[in-house]
């Protein structure tokens, strides 16, 4: 057993020092720091404007897509406008890099992760009543103060058992499947990771993040990286979120609220 472990140890050590592994690690770290600076840019935007930005779409050249009322979307607002996904060939839920002044961006105005994928961004809407712009409307944020919490965005440890169509959406019956509480997450950013650059059939957990056509919902998955042999498939997405407490404390400290 000790000999086997020693051999495995040597193999692992030599693998860690291969060039490709170093490049992958650099891209991973680069993605993490870009997500962190994107989160700072979103919070800075909230301080300057008294509200969170709406997501961009692949048709908006890096600008947020938002109605004058604060509802996210070009028309009435849909789950797609808040949580992303693909609708009619347009990808929603992208970081509004041009609105934020975030760098680096591609030639179309979109923020990129360390792999070359566009960074995803989702923002809370309050589910009842539907599509009320509480966190993307300055007046609503000031009127509501601390009494309105997000009740839609939720992060789960696995897609197994999630109830994305629930009211509110949930991680399901398993008490251990929730990474965040129901009223905690006001915005979320993620990178589709290295495998996001290739056209693959996504595993169950990554599919729950991508929110492709017909599944645009508020449930996101986050756990440590997993190989293709994992029960729910390969997982290399990198995710950060903004809690409502962080958002309000920044706004209060800056004198934006109350």
CB of 115 to Ca ion, least distance (A): 9
Nearer to Ca ion, 64 or 234 (CB): 234
First-to-final CA distance of the chain: 63
Residue 229 has φ and ψ, to the nearest 5°, of -80, -5
> Which residues face 238 on adjacent strands?
191
CB of 57 to Ca ion, least distance (A): 17
Please report which residue ranges of 60-129 form alpha helices under DSSP H: 79-83, 97-100
CB of 44 to Ca ion, least distance (A): 27
**For binding to Ca ion (CB under 5 A), which residues are involved?**
192-193, 195-196, 206, 208, 211, 217, 219, 236-237
Among 109, 13, 128, 20, residue whose Cα is nearest residue 63: 109
CB of 238 to Ca ion, least distance (A): 8
Nearer to Ca ion, 152 or 217 (CB): 217
Nearer to Ca ion, 100 or 210 (CB): 210
d(CA 220, CA 238): 11
CB of 101 to Ca ion, least distance (A): 27
Tokens in use for 35? 């997500």
CB of 251 to Ca ion, least distance (A): 27
Among 161, 164, 151, 149, residue whose Cα is nearest residue 85: 164
Give 50's contacts (C-beta < 8 A, 6+ positions apart): 138, 141, 142, 251, 256, 257
Nearer to Ca ion, 27 or 142 (CB): 27
Nearer to Ca ion, 25 or 103 (CB): 25
> Which residues face 219 on adjacent strands?
154
Nearer to Ca ion, 152 or 236 (CB): 236
């Amino acid at each position: 057993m000790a000999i086997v472990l020693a051999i495995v140890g040597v193999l692992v050590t030599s693998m860690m020092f291969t060039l490709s592994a170093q490049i992958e690690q650099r891209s991973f770290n680069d993605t993490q720091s870009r997500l962190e600076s994107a989160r700072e840019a979103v919070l800075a935007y909230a301080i300057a404007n008294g509200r969170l930005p709406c997501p961009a779409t692949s048709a908006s050249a890096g600008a947020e897509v938002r109605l004058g009322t604060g509802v996210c979307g070009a028309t009435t607002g849909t789950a797609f406008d808040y949580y992303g996904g693909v609708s009619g060939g347009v990808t929603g839920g992208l970081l509004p890099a041009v609105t934020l002044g975030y760098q680096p961006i591609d030639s179309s105005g979109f923020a990129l992760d360390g792999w070359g994928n566009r960074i995803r961004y989702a923002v809370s809407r309050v589910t009842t009543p539907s599509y009320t712009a509480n966190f993307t409307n300055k007046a609503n944020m000031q009127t509501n103060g601390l009494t309105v919490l997000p009740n839609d965005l939720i992060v789960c440890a696995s897609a197994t058992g999630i109830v994305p169509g629930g009211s509110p959406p949930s991680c399901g019956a398993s008490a251990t499947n929730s990474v965040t509480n129901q009223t905690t997450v006001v915005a979320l950013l993620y990178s589709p990771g290295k495998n996001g650059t290739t056209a693959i059939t996504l595993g169950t957990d990554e599919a729950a993040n991508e929110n492709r056509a017909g599944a645009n919902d508020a449930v996101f998955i986050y756990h440590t990286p997993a190989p293709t042999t994992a029960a729910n498939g390969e997982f290399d997405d990198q995710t950060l979120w903004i809690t409502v407490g962080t958002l309000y404390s920044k706004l209060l400290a800056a004198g934006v609220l109350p």
